[in-house]
C-alpha cells in the first residue's frame, strides 16, 4: 500500500517536472530563435519584427507559413531559388545551418 502511494507521488512529481520543463523549454527556444534572427543579421534587411524591411525591395517575412519560410531559406541557400535578388540571401545563408533555418522559420511564422 505504502509503495503504491509513493509511486503515485513520484509519477505525479514526474508529470509536474516534465510540464515545467516543457514550458520553460518552449519559452527558451522562442527567445533563442529571436536572438538567432538578430545574430544572423536578418533584422538588418527584414526588420527586427520581420515586417519592416530596410528597403521596399526586401520582403516582409513575418507571419508567413512555417513550411513556406523553411523551403525558401533552404532553396535560397542551395541556389535552387535564383532570381535577381537571391544572391543577396545566398551569401547570408552560408552561415545558417539547417537546424537554424527550421528554428527561424518556426519563430517568424509566429510573429
Ligand atoms: C542584405 C539583406 C538581407 C539579409 C541580411 C537577409 N535577407 Fe532575407 N532576403 C533579402 C532579399 C533581397 C530577399 C529576396 C530574395 C529573392 O528575391 O529571391 C530575401 C528573401 C528572404 C526570404 C524569402 C521571403 C519570401 O517571401 O519568399 C526569407 C524567408 C528571408 N529572406 C529570411 C531571411 C533570414 C532568416 C535572414 C537571416 C538569416 C535573412 N533573410 C537575411 C535580403 C536579406
Cell of 36: 538567432
Contacts of 95 (CB under 8 A, 6+ apart): 40
Q: What CATH number does residue 78 fall under?
A: 1.10.760.10
Domain count, the chain: 1
**Ligand 1 pocket, Cβ-based, cut-off 6 angstroms:** 40-42, 44-46, 58-59, 61, 69, 72-73, 81, 83, 85-86, 88-89, 92, 96, 104
Residue 14: inside a domain, yes or no? no
Contact 59, 46 (CB under 8 A): yes
The neighbour count for residue 70, using CB atoms within 10 Å, is 19
Q: Does the pLDDT at position 63 exceed 80? A: yes
Domain region containing 34: 28-109
pLDDT above 90 for 17: no
Q: Residues 21-53: pLDDT tens digits?
A: 555 555 568 899 999 999 999 999 999 999 999
84 found inside a domain: yes
User: How does pLDDT run across 77-104, given as a tens digit for each residue?
Assistant: 999 999 999 999 999 999 999 999 999 9
pTM of the full predicted structure? Answer: 0.82
pLDDT for 12 beyond 70: no
Instruction: Tell me, yes or no, whether 6 lies in a domain.
Output: no
Amino acid at each position: 500500500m505504502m509503495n503504491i502511494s509513493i509511486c503515485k507521488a513520484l509519477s505525479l512529481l514526474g508529470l509536474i517536472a516534465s510540464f515545467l520543463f516543457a514550458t520553460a523549454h518552449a519559452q527558451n527556444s522562442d527567445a533563442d530563435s529571436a536572438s538567432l534572427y538578430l545574430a544572423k543579421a536578418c533584422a538588418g534587411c527584414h526588420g527586427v519584427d520581420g515586417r519592416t524591411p530596410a528597403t521596399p525591395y526586401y520582403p516582409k517575412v513575418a507571419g508567413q507559413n512555417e513550411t513556406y519560410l523553411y523551403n525558401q531559406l533552404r532553396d535560397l541557400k542551395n541556389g535552387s531559388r535564383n532570381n535577381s535578388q537571391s544572391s543577396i540571401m545566398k551569401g547570408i545563408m552560408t552561415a545558417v545551418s539547417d537546424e537554424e533555418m527550421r528554428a527561424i522559420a518556426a519563430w517568424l511564422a509566429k510573429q
